[in-house]
Amino acid sequence: MERVNMNLLKHIYPAVALTIVLTVLLGIIYPFVMTGLSELLFKEKARGSLIEREGKVIGSRLIGQPFKGPGYFHSRPSAAGSGYDAAASGATNLGSTSKQLFEEQVRGRAKQLHAENPSVKIPIDLITSSGSGLDPHISPAAAEFQIPRVARERRISEDEVRQLVRKHTEGREFGVLGEPRVNVLELNLALDETSRKVK
């Protein structure tokens, strides 16, 4: 019996010691080193790519937010919590055959957008929410769809607005990954700057 206990203890001590060492190494030291390197090498990204105006944080380049006013480009719909809630990131979990998804959400959004721009095909990302519900980008087609409304509300030409959209359109990563996209927050901030200059 004593021999069995000794053999058992011989296996338990190394397992406990290894658990403690790995916890300290991977749970404390590694995160601190990575955080320090991130702060040193990629300071803006490490802090969430926050955008400040007049000393106040107004958003992040990485997290979508709602824009309701007609003079702003609107973000992709969000199903995260009550909308763009980073603590409740996620999709609707409604399948593509769901009547609720199609009838209540997609068709309702399409009807509203069709009234805004009846002669143009509605881009899919303006009527469907993203998987995270926090997508900060829209497609160039979704931005193009909104140009007439934004230009009319801002009392500037569509060409001026279109130039801003082109300027804020990001290409594919490394030229091959993903799709071209427009960051809605950055585009709306540029619009505000343009409107200030026009006034």
Asked whether 184 and 67 are in contact (CB, 8 A), the reply is: yes
pTM attached to this predicted model: 0.71
Task: Classify each residue of 106-134 as buried b or exposed e, where b means 16 or more C-beta atoms within 10 Å of its C-beta.
Answer: beebeeebeeeeeeeebbebbbbbbebbb
Could you state, in order of their start, the residue ranges of all structural domains in the chain?
2-44, 49-198
Q: Are strands 56-60 and 137-138 parallel, antiparallel or unpaired?
A: unpaired
Q: What 3-state DSSP class applies to 51?
A: strand
Q: Tens-digit pLDDT profile for the chain (199 aa)?
A: 555 566 777 778 888 899 999 999 999 999 989 888 888 887 776 666 677 777 787 777 788 888 888 889 998 887 776 677 777 776 666 666 766 666 667 777 778 878 787 788 888 888 877 777 778 889 999 999 999 999 999 888 889 999 999 999 988 888 788 888 999 999 999 898 876 655 5
What angle separates helix 140-154 from helix 158-167, to the nearest 10 degrees? Answer: 140
Q: Can you tell me the distance from the alpha carbon of 10 to that of 121, in angstroms, rounded to the nearest whole number?
A: 72
Please name which of 160, 137, 143, 145 lies closest in space to residue 115, comparing C-alpha atoms.
145
